[in-house]
């Protein structure tokens, strides 16, 4: 609808109608994002940190990827950018909708290596996009240059799919191999104890809401909302992500007020998304390693990330020559690291049954 309005295909809508169009379009990503993220975490519960970091990392790069495809297909036609945003994500969601489903987790010795392959590809993609971003501000790309860069970007985006298909074929070949038939062993299962109606009705619905499961068990939504852990996490998220988002959104105005050249301001503002990506994958993979190997609790790592964000804010509040370069890196990195850490902590504290 927004593209039809901008292109003059329909009459100009009222302001409230345009606000509704923008609201629906801006929040449509959350539907696909929630479905993919929740299903992936349930399918890979032992690597949930790495999975969330990867998914959120690619989400952070999606804007830069779309720009490269737009420049190659529509040649800097700003109206067509809205059209591309409208049809491409929807087409990809429809194309891959049946691949997003619950599957039985299969742990193989190579499972962790597959995640590291994905991480390597995503880092190469991020570095390549950063290089393209810098080159586009130095030299003027031709139509062929934009086409070549978009082709390479698309190849790097599709490459994880090739690795996934290869792993599925390997698992399928293992299942095809002949195995010895199982011996006939009878397993006696204990009969479930009968629960009297009085015991089952002892807890009222109000008691069920305020009943506190152990941390890591499956909480209901109401149990989570009345938990101290959830409110502490909400406060940390509200203050941490809120302040980071404010700093990132106003980084351009801050640079201009400090007297940086316009080209310099544009460069480090555009590179914040790349550092945002590195923060997301770092929070996913490194936090997973620290939890498994060193038993370092993830909430403590979340505290460290929030303290790192404070360093970036202090560099903005008390500037010195060149401080904004460091502040943009620190703020972008810490901003990206907070969301995967937050989502992983939620899954570890309140379980996966009602995770979405």
Would 290 be classed as within a structural domain? yes
Same domain, 149 and 222: no
Same domain, 343 and 242: yes
Same domain, 167 and 219: no
Residue 253 — pLDDT band, cuts 50, 70, 90? confident
Residue 183 pLDDT more than 70? no
Same domain, 318 and 228: yes
Would 210 be classed as within a structural domain? no
Same domain, 40 and 128: yes
Domain tally, the chain = 2
Find out whether 334 and 308 touch, Cβ atoms under 8 Å: yes
Would 271 be classed as within a structural domain? yes
Q: Which of 84, 1, 58 is nearest to 284 (CA)?
A: 58
Same domain, 23 and 113: yes
Same domain, 2 and 126: yes
Same domain, 234 and 131: no
Would 148 be classed as within a structural domain? yes
* Structural domain span for residue 270: 215-356
Given 171, 201, 232, which residue is the final one in a domain?
A: 171
Region 184-203: mean pLDDT is 51
Residue 195 pLDDT more than 80? no
Residue 144 — pLDDT band, cuts 50, 70, 90? confident
Would 132 be classed as within a structural domain? yes
Residue 103 pLDDT more than 70? yes
Residue 40 — pLDDT band, cuts 50, 70, 90? confident
- 3-state secondary structure string across 289-329: HHHHHHCCCHHHHHHHHHHHHHHHHHHHHCCCCCHHHHHHH
222-247 pLDDT per residue, tens: 888 888 999 999 999 899 889 988 98
Residue 91 pLDDT more than 80? yes
Provide the 8-state DSSP code for 108. -
| C-alpha–C-alpha distance, residues 68 and 73, integer Å | 9
Would 185 be classed as within a structural domain? no
Residue 200 pLDDT more than 60? no
Burial 206-236 (b: 16+ CB within 10 A, else e): eeeeeeeeeeeeebbeebbeebebbeebeeb
Q: Residue 65's Cα: distance from chain center in Å?
A: 15
| C-alpha–C-alpha distance, residues 190 and 250, integer Å | 63
Region 212-217: mean pLDDT is 78
User: In whole numbers, what is the pLDDT of the chain averaged over residues?
Assistant: 83
The pLDDT score that the predictor gives to residue 193 is 53
Residues 6+ apart with CB under 8 A from 337: 279, 280, 282, 283, 305, 308
| C-alpha–C-alpha distance, residues 62 and 36, integer Å | 15
What separation, in Å, do the N-terminal and C-terminal C-alpha atoms of the chain show? 29
CA 340, 332, 117, 303 dihedral sign is negative
273-304 pLDDT per residue, tens: 788 889 999 888 888 888 888 888 999 999 99
Residue 210 pLDDT more than 70? no
Same domain, 260 and 355: yes
Residue 311 — pLDDT band, cuts 50, 70, 90? very high
Q: Apex CA 336: angle with CA 315 and CA 84, to 5°?
A: 120
| C-alpha–C-alpha distance, residues 32 and 24, integer Å | 13
Residue 201 pLDDT more than 50? no
Given 110, 143, 171, which residue is the final one in a domain?
A: 171
Same domain, 155 and 239: no
Would 121 be classed as within a structural domain? yes
Would 1 be classed as within a structural domain? yes
Same domain, 334 and 224: yes
The pLDDT score that the predictor gives to residue 202 is 44
Given 171, 194, 224, which residue is the final one in a domain?
A: 171
Same domain, 120 and 264: no
Residue 204 — pLDDT band, cuts 50, 70, 90? low
Region 188-211: mean pLDDT is 54
CA 81, 87, 93, 96 dihedral sign is negative
Q: Apex CA 37: angle with CA 35 and CA 40, to 5°?
A: 105
């Amino acid at each position: 609808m927004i593209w039809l309005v901008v292109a003059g295909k329909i009459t100009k809508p009222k302001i409230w109608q345009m606000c509704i169009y923008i609201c629906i379009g801006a929040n449509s990503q959350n539907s696909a994002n929630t479905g993919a993220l929740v299903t992936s975490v349930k399918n890979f519960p032992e690597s949930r940190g790495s999975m969330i970091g990867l998914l959120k990392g690619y989400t952070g790069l999606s804007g830069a990827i779309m720009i490269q495809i737009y420049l190659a297909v529509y040649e800097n036609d700003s109206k067509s950018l809205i059209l591309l945003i409208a049809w491409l994500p929807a087409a990809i969601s429809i194309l891959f909708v049946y691949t997003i489903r619950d599957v039985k987790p299969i742990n193989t010795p190579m499972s962790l290596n597959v995640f590291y392959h994905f991480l390597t590809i995503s880092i190469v993609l991020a570095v390549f996009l950063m290089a393209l971003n810098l080159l586009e501000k130095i030299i003027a790309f031709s139509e062929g240059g934009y086409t070549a860069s978009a082709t390479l970007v698309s190849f790097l985006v599709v490459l994880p799919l090739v690795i996934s298909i290869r792993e599925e074929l390997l698992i399928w070949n293992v299942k095809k191999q002949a195995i010895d038939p199982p011996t006939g062993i009878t397993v006696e299962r204990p009969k479930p104890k009968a629960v009297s109606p009085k015991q089952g009705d002892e807890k009222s619905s109000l008691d069920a809401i305020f009943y506190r499961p152990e941390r890591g068990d499956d909480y209901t939504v109401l149990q989570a909302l009345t938990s101290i852990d959830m409110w502490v996490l909400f406060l940390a998220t509200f203050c941490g992500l809120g302040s980071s988002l404010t700093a990132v959104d106003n980084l351009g105005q801050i640079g201009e007020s400090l007297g940086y050249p316009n080209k310099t301001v544009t460069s480090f503002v555009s590179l914040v998304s790349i550092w945002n990506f590195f923060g997301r994958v770092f929070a996913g993979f490194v936090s997973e390693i620290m939890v498994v190997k060193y038993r370092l609790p993830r909430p403590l790592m979340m505290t460290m990330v929030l303290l790192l964000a404070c360093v970036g804010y202090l560099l903005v509040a008390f500037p010195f020559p060149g401080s904004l370069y460091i502040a943009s890196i620190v703020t972008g990195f810490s901003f990206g690291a907070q969301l995967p850490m937050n989502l992983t902590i939620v899954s570890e504290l309140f379980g996966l049954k009602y995770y979405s």
